[in-house]
Structure 1
Amino acid sequence: MKVLIKDVRLAFIESLWTPKQYQGAGPFRRSATFLIVPGSDNDKLIEAAIQKVAADKFGKKAATVLAGLRGNSNKCAYMDGNTKADYDGFPGMMYLASHRKDADGPVLVIDTNKAPLSEGSGKPYAGCYVNASVDIYAQDGQNTGIRSGLIGVQFLRDGDSFGGASRSDGSEFEDLGNGVEEAEDFA
C-alpha cells in the first residue's frame, strides 16, 4: 500500500544512493529510516496501512500475526524509537525502516522544486526533514513480516544534523563580491 509521509526527519541514509548489503550479507539494497512522531497524522497513516495489508495477507489471523511481529526489527519495519535510544533523534519517536532492492533501480531523490538531487549535493542528510513515498506491505512464508519499500524522498527543509556535523546556509559569511583583492606585497 503506497503511503506518502510528510515532514518527517530522515536518519540512517548511508545507503540511500549506493546500495549495500545488510550486515554484509544478502542482496544489495538502498535504505533510509524515517522518524515519526507518535500519534501524528503520519503515525496514524502508517498504522492504518499496516492494519490493511495485514488483514489482506493474513485474514482472520492478522491481529495474532501482527502481535508476533511487533517489537522485532527483522519482522516489522515500524518500530519504537526507544529501542534505538543511543541514536540521535530516536528516543520518544517511532521509526520506519524502508529498503529498495538494487535490482529495482535507484530511489527517486528530489529537492523542494522536484529537481533531482545527487549524492554529492549535501541534501538530504541525516537530521533534515523530508517527505517520503513508501510501500507498506505484508510478507508471509519463511520471512513473514511487515515491510516498507522505499520509493522516493523529497528534501523538505533543514534540521539539526545527526552525528554532530554542523551545516551552513552561508549566512555567517560576508559577501566578498566577485573576487578578493590581492594582498599587498610587503616584501
Structure 2
Amino acid sequence: MADANPTQVTLKNVRLSFPRLYTAEKSTPDSKPKYSAAFLIDPTSDEGKANLRNMVAAMKHACQEEWGNPEMYKTIKADRVCIADGNSQVNQETGEIYDGYHDMKAVKASSPENRRPVTVDRRRRPVTEQDEVFYGGCYVNAVVRVYTVKGKEKGGNGVFASLEAVQFFADGTAFGAGPIDVDSVFDDLDGDGESSGGFDDLGDDLDV
C-alpha cells in the first residue's frame, strides 16, 4: 500500500537499532526526552534500494516545500540529515563502527515525549514493553515522516524524520545482549518444582 502523504515513508524489512520505543530519553543532558530508533538498510538489496528511493523522494519533496530546492538536503551537514552512512556511525568510546552498521545506510527517527510511536506485531496487534518483542537486531517495518527545520535558533537547516509506528517483522541476531531463547538454554523439567536439596548439598568448600 502506497503512502498518501508524500513525506511519509514505510520502511520495509529494516533492522532495528538503538530502540527507545517505550521510554523517552535524552540524547544529551540539555536535550528534551524523545522516543527514537535507527533503521539499518542494506543499499545493495532490491528491498533496500526501494527503501532508500522512497526516503530520498520524501526528502526531496520536503526540501522543495521548504526551500524551493529538492536537492537542498545535499548541502546540509551530515549530522542534521535523517539518512546516515553506516560507516560513519562510530562508538566514541571504542572508535569502532557500531555493530551491524558496516556498509549499511541508517535512517534515524525520533518523536517527542508526548507522542509515543505505535508498536504492533506481525498481525498488527498492539505490543507493550512487557511483551519484549522489539530489540536491537530484529527486523521491522517502520513508518517515518520527513520534515525540515531552518533558522539558527533551531540549530540551522535540517532534514529529519519523525518516528510514527513500528511493526515487528522477524527475529535477527541481537546486537549485544539480546533476549534469551529459553527453549535453547533450559530443559523441560518434570515434577512439581520441589527442590531435592539445598545449598548445604553443595558442600562446605563452595566459595561465594
**What TM-score comes out, normalization by structure 1 length?**
0.85
1:139 and 2:149 aligned: yes
1:79 and 2:90 aligned: no
1:159 and 2:168 aligned: no
Matched residue, 2:73? 66
1:48-127 to 2 correspondences below 5 Å: 48-59=57-68, 61-63=69-71, 65-69=72-76, 72-73=78-79, 75-85=80-90, 86-103=97-114, 105-127=115-137
1:7 and 2:21 aligned: no
- Per mean C-alpha deviation after superposition, the further-off stretch among 21-30 and 148-157 is 21-30
SS of the residue corresponding to residue 21 of structure 2 reads: coil
Offset of residue 54 of structure 1: 1.1
Partners of 2:191 and 2:162 in 1: CA distance = 46
Q: Indicate conservation of the 8 Å contact 1:109/1:154, yes or no.
A: yes
Q: Any gaps of 5 or more consecutive residues in structure 1?
A: none
Partners of 2:16 and 2:113 in 1: CA distance = 20
Q: Indicate conservation of the 8 Å contact 1:10/1:129, yes or no.
A: yes
Q: Indicate conservation of the 8 Å contact 2:148/2:160, yes or no.
A: yes
Matched residue, 1:42? 51
Report Cα offsets for 1:75-134 as digits up to 9, x if no partner. Answer: 10111101015211101000011000113x211111112222222322210000000011
Offset of residue 167 of structure 1: 3.8
Matched residue, 2:162? 149
Q: Any gaps of 5 or more consecutive residues in structure 2?
A: 1-6, 91-96, 202-208
SS of the residue corresponding to residue 45 of structure 1 reads: helix
- Per mean C-alpha deviation after superposition, the further-off stretch among 171-180 and 114-123 is 171-180
Partners of 1:147 and 1:166 in 2: CA distance = 29
RMSD after superposition: 2.3
Aligned residue pairs total: 179
Distance 1:76 1:176, change over 3 A: same
Offset of residue 181 of structure 1: 7.2
Q: Percent identity at matched positions?
A: 30
